[in-house]
Structures are given as C-alpha cells and as structure tokens.
Amino acid sequence: MSIKGYIDYKRREFCNDVKCSVQMDMNAQKEGSAEYEKIRDICKNKCKYTTYQFHHWLINKGYLIVRPEKS
C-alpha cells in the first residue's frame, strides 16, 4: 500500500544499486531456471550484506519505514 506522494521500494533495488555480485549473476539467468533458483538461494540464506548496510542505504536514498499506528 503506497502513501500518496511517495514511491515504494522495488524488489532487489538495493542489490542492483550496490551491484551485488550475487544479484548480477542472478540477473544473467532466466528467472525460474535451476541456476537462477540456485543463486537466489544464496540471496535468501547467505546474503553478503547486513541489515545495517541495507537500513543505511534506505536512509541515504530517502526511504521511510512506516507502519500503521495500531497493528
């Protein structure tokens, strides 16, 4: 759900922006292929970047992390 006047983070935007070597390898594969899924597993389970790096990238790009007041 977007907030009016703002854009949402796009899937793998960080990975592509920092030119993650794993993401670059995945981009070279056909989505859904065996090799793509093998590389994707690295992203899901052994990411080269930390949440700290990702969080600061978001801040530097002007992203806001928001949630409803009541959940």
Q: What is the pLDDT of residues 18-50, one digit of tens each?
A: 999 999 999 999 999 999 999 999 999 999 999
Q: How many domains does the chain have?
A: 1
Is the pLDDT at 59 greater than 80? The verdict is: yes
Residue with tokens 């995945």: 26
Report, in this order, helix, strand and coil percent for the chain, each rounded to 5. Answer: 50, 0, 50
Residue 67 resides in a domain: no
Q: What is the 8-class DSSP label of residue 53?
A: H
Residue 48 resides in a domain: yes
* Predicted local distance difference test score (pLDDT) of residue 71: 66
Is the pLDDT at 1 greater than 80? The verdict is: no
Q: pTM for the complete prediction?
A: 0.83
Mean pLDDT of 2-17: 93
Q: Which domain holds residue 44?
A: 13-60
